[in-house]
Structure 1
Amino acid sequence: MFTISLCMIVKNEECIIERCLDSVQHLVDEINIIDTGSTDRTKDIVQNYTSRIFDFTWCDDFAKARNFSFQQATKDFILWLDADDVITTEHQQKFLQLKQSLYHPNVDAVSMDYYVALDADGCVESSEKRFRLVKRACNFQWLGAVHEYLDVSGQLYHSDIAVTHLPLKKDAHRNILIYERLKKEGHLFSARDTFHYANELKEHQRCLEAINQYHLFIDTAKGSVDDNIQACLNLADCYQQLQDSKQATQAILQSLLYDRPRPETCCRIGQFFMEQLKNKEAIYWYSQALQHPTETFGIHKRSYSTWLPHFQLSLLYNRLRLYENAQQHNEEARRFKPNDQRILDNRKYLLSQLKN
């Protein structure tokens, strides 16, 4: 069995740090906490779990902080988490099984699902894959001042373990302020920096600036397939905010240049035809969304391949008075969203139509 060092960077996490460490302390062999300037009780709480607490002077660079955290590790593998992450009981068991069964000399990095957001019922709304467990001897490095990523290579293993993100409200302006400081200082943005800067501008409703940055990113032709597709879909959102439907539609169609149609793209095209009352065309595209599950390292918004296309198909078949088809798709949607009032109301309506 291999040994594991947990490495975390934290600041003012007194409200959530116990929740995270309680979920993982029995899975690892060492806990390294890198504090970047806490002024609350974070350090006092962490002392109940480990004496390996290190100070790091914050310099607006997440990669530098994470690389410093990795330098403190002494075990075979490094696990990294944020303070607002937890590993649920189900996935703790999977983690222990992996630790006991994985033939680690042949593995350099292990990916895990990251449940980015949950809905009101606790179901996964969006997720992505991240390399969470890496061999210390490989000396993998973090890159990027903001939206940093771990540059891994070698023998990769994809697990079915998940880490769940349970965030508290944070400083919404932190990342964009770092990007704008770097821009002002003349820092040359990589394609990835440009993409994430555009995302921050979009989040702050600065649509015209975001559109410019998305176009700059796409024009580099250096982005990953996933980021190029997401840039096109985010562009569509920005144009829609500006009430430019033509440009929004063109941006959605541009996403088809990079890969087979993703569920989100299919649903957006389906919505376009649905609004035009072209029911059969809309049915085709929503049906396609159910045929193309997303298996990538990009963000997977699960609604686009589960309940949403089923619900829209139910509405479309209702338009065509094909009530049995409509009811079948509504039941599929209800399986994913059992408490959604729109689905429940539609169910009541369809059952009455079938009786008639």
Structure 2
Amino acid sequence: MITVSLCMIVKNEEAVLDRCLQSVKDIVDEINIVDTGSTDKTVEIAKKYTDRVFFYKWTGNFSEARNASLQYATKDYILYIDADDVILPEDQKKFIELKKKLDPSIDAVSMYYNAGTDEFGNITLQYRLNRLLKRSKGFKWEGDCHNYLNVTGKIINSDIAITHKKLKHSVGRNLDIYQKKLERGDTFTARDYFYYGNELRENGHYREAIESYQKNIALKTGWVEDKVYACINKADCYRNLNDTNNERASLFEAFQYAKIPRPEICSRLGFNFQRNREYNAAIFWYQLATQLKNDPNKWSFTYPAYATWYPHLQLCVCYYNIGDYEKSYYHNEQARIYRPEDERILFNKELLEKRLKTN
């Protein structure tokens, strides 16, 4: 059976660190915590789980800090997670089974990252990350903000998930890092333009975000999946600017890179047509969104809502507006499977049941 070193960087994580370490303490063979300047009880909590607590002076570069944490690993493989992540009990069991069966020739194992859940426990954002790394390969982090592991070799995909349970969002932190890169005159890669666009969009700077996404799309370099979402996110910016024509154009542009329909594109097109009261066109795109199957080996972002409750809820609205109350009720019930206590869905249910009784 392989052995695993957990390597983490932390700073002022007293609210979540205990929860995180409690979820991993029985499935790893070594815990390494690198503190980058905590002023709360983070270090005290870490020492409850390990005597391998180290200190690193923060330089403003996440890759440098993460790479510093990797040097303390002594086991066969390295696992990294953040303090606001957990490994749920069913995934702990899968992880232990993986340790028992993993071929030592494997260089890395990818796992799902369930980066968000709604109030009903539905996953809202999921993607794959290389999580378990063969220590002898010396893989390193790159990038100073939205950093990534430069991993090559024999990689397998597992069905194990790391679940994100963030208590608060660090508004503006990453945006500041990118703006300092601009002030220094650093050269931006296609990836930089994509993630800088995301930070601008999340902070409400929609026109600047569009400009950054356009720069990502214009470059021939970069991951095609980033270009798909540059188009999608650009469309979201246009929607927030009430520019429905450019929103629609950006969504159709996404097909140039995605090649085949995706729920994240189709549901947005449905909403674009729906807002223009073009209900039949909206129904077409929403229906298509519900029929598309997710690829379990997909590495880029997956937003399950766009294939499940959301298009069904909007189909309920569209069919209601064209007077087809039976189909409206059906799709509302499909949405209710995922969000049984959603007030909007329960309101629709009561309204439609009255409608159907009187018809």
* Match of residue 332 from structure 2: 330
Q: 8 Å contact 2:244–2:272 — kept in the other structure?
A: no
User: Using a 3 Å threshold, how does the CA distance of structure 1 residues 325 and 242 change in structure 2: closer, same or farther?
Assistant: closer
* Match of residue 226 from structure 2: 227
* Match of residue 355 from structure 1: 357
Q: 8 Å contact 2:120–2:338 — kept in the other structure?
A: no
2 CA distance for matches of 1:18 and 1:203?
A: 29
Shift of 1:106: 3.5
2 CA distance for matches of 1:209 and 1:17?
A: 36
* Match of residue 156 from structure 1: 155
Structure 1 unaligned regions, length at least 5? none
Instruction: Give the 3-state SS of the residue equivalent to 2:141 in structure 1.
Output: strand
Alignment of 1:1-356 (within 5 A): 1-102=1-102, 104-259=103-258, 260-295=260-295, 296-356=298-358
Number of residues of Structure 1 aligned to a counterpart in Structure 2: 355
Q: 8 Å contact 2:2–2:104 — kept in the other structure?
A: no
User: Using a 3 Å threshold, how does the CA distance of structure 1 residues 206 and 275 change in structure 2: closer, same or farther?
Assistant: closer
2 CA distance for matches of 1:36 and 1:244?
A: 44
1 CA distance for matches of 2:290 and 2:61?
A: 40
Instruction: Give the 3-state SS of the residue equivalent to 1:112 in structure 2.
Output: strand
1 CA distance for matches of 2:207 and 2:269?
A: 23
Shift of 1:170: 4.6
Shift of 1:273: 2.2
Instruction: Give the 3-state SS of the residue equivalent to 2:291 in structure 1.
Output: coil
Instruction: Give the 3-state SS of the residue equivalent to 1:157 in structure 2.
Output: strand
1 CA distance for matches of 2:318 and 2:243?
A: 26
User: Using a 3 Å threshold, how does the CA distance of structure 1 residues 120 and 210 change in structure 2: closer, same or farther?
Assistant: same
Amino acid at match of 1:189: F
Structure 2 unaligned regions, length at least 5? none
Misfit runs of 4+, over 6 Å: none
Q: 8 Å contact 2:189–2:222 — kept in the other structure?
A: no
Shift of 1:326: 2.4
Deviations 1:21-64 (A, max 9, x none): 00001000001111111122211211111111121111111111
1 CA distance for matches of 2:320 and 2:169?
A: 43
Farther off after superposition, 161-170 or 66-75: 161-170
Farther off after superposition, 58-67 or 266-275: 266-275
Amino acid at match of 2:200: L
2 CA distance for matches of 1:281 and 1:237?
A: 19
1 CA distance for matches of 2:61 and 2:337?
A: 43
Deviations 1:60-93 (A, max 9, x none): 1111111111111111111001000011112111
User: Using a 3 Å threshold, how does the CA distance of structure 1 residues 243 and 277 change in structure 2: closer, same or farther?
Assistant: closer
Instruction: Give the 3-state SS of the residue equivalent to 2:91 in structure 1.
Output: helix
Instruction: Give the 3-state SS of the residue equivalent to 2:104 in structure 1.
Output: helix
Amino acid at match of 2:342: D
2 CA distance for matches of 1:7 and 1:276?
A: 51
Deviations 1:235-265 (A, max 9, x none): 1222223232222221111111111121011
Query: What TM-score, normalized by structure 1, do the two folds share?
Result: 0.95
Amino acid at match of 2:231: C
Amino acid at match of 1:333: A
| Identity rate, percent | 45
2 CA distance for matches of 1:313 and 1:232?
A: 24
Amino acid at match of 2:113: Y
Amino acid at match of 1:282: A
